[in-house]
Structure 1
Amino acid sequence: MITCMTFEKILPQLIKLTADVGKVIMSFYKADMAVEMKLNKTPLTIADQRAHQLIVEGLNHLTPNVAILSEESDTATFEQRSKWQEYWLVDPLDGTQDFLEQTGEFCICIAYIKNHQAIFGLVYAPLTQTHYYGFNNKAYKQHNNIQTPLNACSATLPLRVVIGHNSTHNSKLQTHLQQLGKHQLNHLGSALKFCQIAEGVYDYYPRFGPCCEWDTAAGACILQNAGGSVHDENGTPLRYNTKNDLLSPTFFASGIH
Structure 2
Amino acid sequence: MHYSTILTDVIRIADEASERVLHIYQSDFKVHFKEDQTPITAADLAANEIIVKGLRRIAPDIPIVSEESPETPWEERKHWRRFWLIDPIDGTKDFTQRSGEFTINIAMIEDGEPVMGVVVAPALKEAFWGVKGEGAYKRDRSGKAHRIRVAELRDSLRVVASKNHLNEETRAFIARLGPHETVQAGSSLKFCRLAEGHADIYPRMSPTSEWDTAAAHAVLLAAGGKVQTPDGKPLKYGKENIENPFFIAAGNWYF
TM-score normalised per structure 1: 0.93
Residue 18 of structure 1 deviates from its aligned partner by 1.1
1:120-144 deviation line (CA, Å, top 9, x unaligned): 1111111232221111321111234
Residue 145 of structure 1 deviates from its aligned partner by 4.2
Q: Decide which of 144, 147, 153 is 1:146's aligned counterpart.
A: 144
Q: Tell me the residue number matched to 1:166.
A: 164
Say yes or no: does 1:181 pair with 2:178: yes
Which amino acid in the other structure matches residue 205 of structure 1?
Y
Equivalent positions of 1:102-113 (< 5 A) are 102-113=98-109
**5+ unaligned residues in a row in structure 2: which ranges?**
none
Q: Tell me the residue number matched to 1:206.
A: 203
- SS of corresponding position for 1:233: coil
Q: Distance in 2 between matches of 1:59 and 1:217?
A: 16
Q: Tell me the residue number matched to 2:242.
A: 246
Residue 89 of structure 1 deviates from its aligned partner by 0.1
Q: Distance in 1 between matches of 2:238 and 2:36?
A: 19
CA contact under 8 A between 1:113 and 1:240: conserved in structure 2? yes
Say yes or no: does 1:132 pair with 2:106: no
Q: Tell me the residue number matched to 2:49.
A: 53
Q: Distance in 1 between matches of 2:139 and 2:182?
A: 27
Percent same amino acid among aligned pairs? 37
- SS of corresponding position for 2:182: strand
Q: Distance in 2 between matches of 1:67 and 1:204?
A: 32
Say yes or no: does 1:89 pair with 2:85: yes
1:8-30 deviation line (CA, Å, top 9, x unaligned): 22222222211111110001114
CA contact under 8 A between 2:4 and 2:131: conserved in structure 1? no
CA contact under 8 A between 2:151 and 2:200: conserved in structure 1? no
- SS of corresponding position for 1:247: coil
CA contact under 8 A between 1:107 and 1:191: conserved in structure 2? yes
CA contact under 8 A between 2:117 and 2:215: conserved in structure 1? yes
Which amino acid in the other structure matches residue 214 of structure 1?
W
Q: Tell me the residue number matched to 2:224.
A: 227
1:96-129 deviation line (CA, Å, top 9, x unaligned): 1101111110111111011111111111111232
CA contact under 8 A between 2:160 and 2:184: conserved in structure 1? yes
CA contact under 8 A between 1:231 and 1:251: conserved in structure 2? yes
Q: Decide which of 64, 67, 72 is 1:68's aligned counterpart.
A: 64
140-149 or 74-83, which moves further after superposition?
A: 140-149
* Equivalent residues, number: 251
